[in-house]
Structure formats: C-alpha cells, structure tokens
Chains A and B, each alone.
Chain A
C-alpha cells in the first residue's frame, strides 16, 4: 500500500542532516511551510543551504531558522523585507553567504533541476553584474546566459489538500514555488491543511502529482506569518 502520511511533523523532518540543501516554498507568507521550518529548528540541523524567494519575515519561520544560525547560505532573489533585519545583519557581519538569482531564473533553475535538465540558456541578466562569469551564447541574433538546474536534498512545501499518494492541490497564490520545488528535491516534505481520501481530489485538479512527493503531514490550522509578525512573535 502506498501511504506517504507521517504521524507527526518532527517525524517528517527527522533525517534532515547538517549541510543539507533545502528548497523552502512560499512567496512572502503565502505558501510558507512555517510548521515544517520550526520543526527543522527544533531538530537541530546546521550548515544548511536554503533556497527561497526571500529571506524571511519578522522572527518566525525562515527568518527564525536564519536567526538561529542554522543557515550557511541563502539562494534567493530578494533578501529584503520591511519586517526583518535578521538576514541583513548576518549578511553585513559576513556570517551568511548569499547567491542572488533573478526570480524567474531561480524558478526555472528549480524547474529544470526537477525535470532532469542540467542547464539552460536565458536572456535574463545579460549585460548585468549577475551574468558575470557565466557562459554566454548567441541564438538567432540575441544573447543568452547559461544557468544551471538546481536540485536539493529536501523540499519543505505547504499545500491545501493531499491524498495518501501525495497528490496535491494548493490554495490561490500559495501555490507559487510548491510544484517545482517538489519536483527538484530528493525528498519533498509537504504540510497540508487537509488530508483527503484518494479520489477526492479530481485527477483533473491535481496540481502536483504524488510521484513528486515523498512525505505528508497534516497541519489543519497553520500559523499565519503576518499575524505572528504583527504580534512581534519569535520562535522558538
């Protein structure tokens, strides 16, 4: 029998080791798997490389993981937030590494990684500092830079509904990086608001087919990051 459901959040993340690369879903707070991130803080893995569009808000979720000193390197497009100084302070102190990637290039690197494409050419960033040192080639009279596909040990993703096969449906723009991150990770771990019986998600409505998902854990009432930030909450 295929059953990807784990009984608890700690069990879902227990084998994340020091030095692992994590793809963490979410754009701002939408889709941020905050309970899974907090479980990684509790679990203790260090020297992590984290891929996310941003670098966290307030002092919860990704910002808390960074503040706890667990992250060696961040790969992202926009590590600034009006509600967080965590990344900025560590970066200025030279205590965290940043690989800045244009947002669409980041998404395509993850998609390519998950699709078995080791590298691709894109027009994005040609002639800018972010293209320095990258191979360039002309196609049909236009210049492109070579970018590498991106894979990771784990993905931490939030979805709306899932069945035990790992088929996922998302909620509105919380979808964002979820589908491609599940594809690009050896082990995609997904927190879902509601587990349903197989067949309850219409096959036409499955956004991430279960083949891309390894573990599921139900979190019926996930924390809302903006509420925590407004309250000045911090984790742990």
Chain B
C-alpha cells in the first residue's frame, strides 16, 4: 500500500496548475488562493493579459521580486512579497471585498478539503474540537467570484476521496464549485453531479471512479490531458 501511495498518479502539481492556466481567458480578473493555486500564474499562455486580485487590496500584481528587493508593504494575501505591474491599483479592504462579492472577479482558483457533487465546498476547517478556527476570505470568495475552480489532489494523503456525495467537513459555501482540476482529471460540476471532461495520462476511467466518492458521468469521447513535462 505504501509503495503505491508513494508513486504519484496522474499529473504533477505543476502540470495541474498548467492545465487550469490554459482555461484562463485573455482579460480575466483572477484571484488565486494561497498554495498550489499560486502556481497557475506561471503557466498562463503567452499573449493573454490577466489581472490578479489579492484580498488585501491589490489588483494587477506580478511575480515575487528578486531577493533583497522585498517591500513589507507590498505583499499578497498569503503575506508574500510581490511586484507591481503597469496598471496596478491599491484599495481598502471593503472595496477589495466589494470586488469579490459584487461579482467583479471572473475566476477564483482555490484548494479544497472536500467538494460535493452538488458543488458544495469545504476548505476552512475540519471541525476538530481543539483546532483554532480560521476562515480568512474563503467564504467571501466562494460566495462572490463569478466562477469557482478547485485545484486539488483527487484524494487526501491517506487516499480518501475529496470528491464526495456530501461534505462531512463544515462548509465554506453551498453549490458554488464549477470545475475541479485534479491530478487525475478535469471534472465539471453539472446539474446532475460530477462529469469527467478530461482524464490524466496513465489512469483508467475505472481507477478514477474508484478514487471518486460520488457517481461520475463519463462522456463517450474522453480527451486525455496532454500536459508538457513540468
């Protein structure tokens, strides 16, 4: 068991980020969650101009500065140093969340602990009694961004499905997730539940179904994700 777990199935984390990046359209205003979603910005195809939003009051930021040029008052929501691109703007926190809640953010890509077949998402708390609860802006983002895409491993470290019939963890939002980019495939959350749009190389539909905790609709014609080596 430990040997099979050690061998990674499907896409690498960078390839997962690459796949999501291909679907970001030119001109989109995008909020990338802390962690793996931040990798997405590195793989957006040349020629597409995106505006990145950060909850702490910044639109239009760029990659991290070279070492030694960090500015403690120019950081993103993950509290990491960033740079400014031409066209950037600063604004206060209420305006920043007005952008989110008011539907001015086109896409938010974030991680998840669980996603349910009806689009519910849990990504802020396990509900454990001794945990200090912390939510940040996750509930605002899932309630307000026009499209919520989840970028996540298909299963937990222990191999339990993250795509489930019903979330067992406390919810972040109800019926909000549109797409899931996992290491095993690209899954759409449709009116009727999970629907596989693309599959990662090296895995069969049967294997993918076994690692998914809810029914998975599979179309007759199923493209394979053709990610570069990353």
Q: Give chain A's interface residues, CB within 8 Å of chain B.
A: 27-31, 53, 77-80, 87-88, 91-92, 98, 100-105, 107-108, 110-111, 122-130, 170-180, 207, 224-226
User: Majority SS of interface residues in chain B?
Assistant: loop
Whether A128 contacts B72 by the Cβ 8 Å rule is: no
Beyond A77-B137, A124-B101, A172-B73: 9 further Cβ-contacts under 8 Å? A31-B73, A80-B134, A91-B132, A104-B137, A104-B139, A124-B143, A126-B174, A127-B174, A179-B94
Q: Are A107 and B94 in contact (CB under 8 A)?
A: yes
- Tell me which residues across on chain A come within 8 A of B130, comparing CB atoms: 92
Dominant SS at the A interface? mixed
B172 at the binding interface (Cβ < 8 Å): yes
Q: A103 and B55: CB pair below 8 A? A: yes
CB of A176 within 8 A of CB of B137, answer no
A175 touches B72 (CB 8 A): no
Set B71, B92, B120, B144: member contacting A104, Cβ < 8 A: B144
Contacts of A101 in B (CB 8 A): 135
What is the size category of the interface that chain B forms with chain A?
35 or more
Residues on the A chain within 8 Å of B189, using CB: none
**Across the interface, which residues of A come within 8 angstroms of B137, CB to CB?**
77, 102-104
Residues of B within 8 A of A102 (CB): 135-140
Whether A177 lies near B92 (C-beta < 8 A) is yes
Which residues of B58-81 have CB atoms within 8 Å of chain A's CB atoms?
Answer: 58, 71-75, 79
**Residue A124 contacts which of B90, B125, B133, B140 (CB distance < 8 angstroms)?**
B140
Return the chain A residue nearest B82 by Cβ: A173
* B100 in the interface (beta carbon within 8 A): yes
Q: Which B117-158 residues have C-beta < 8 A from chain A?
A: 120, 125, 127, 130, 132-140, 143-144
Residues on the B chain within 8 Å of A125, using CB: 139, 143
Tell me which residues across on chain A come within 8 A of B139, comparing CB atoms. Answer: 102, 104-105, 124-125, 128, 130
B170 at the interface (CB under 8 A from A): yes
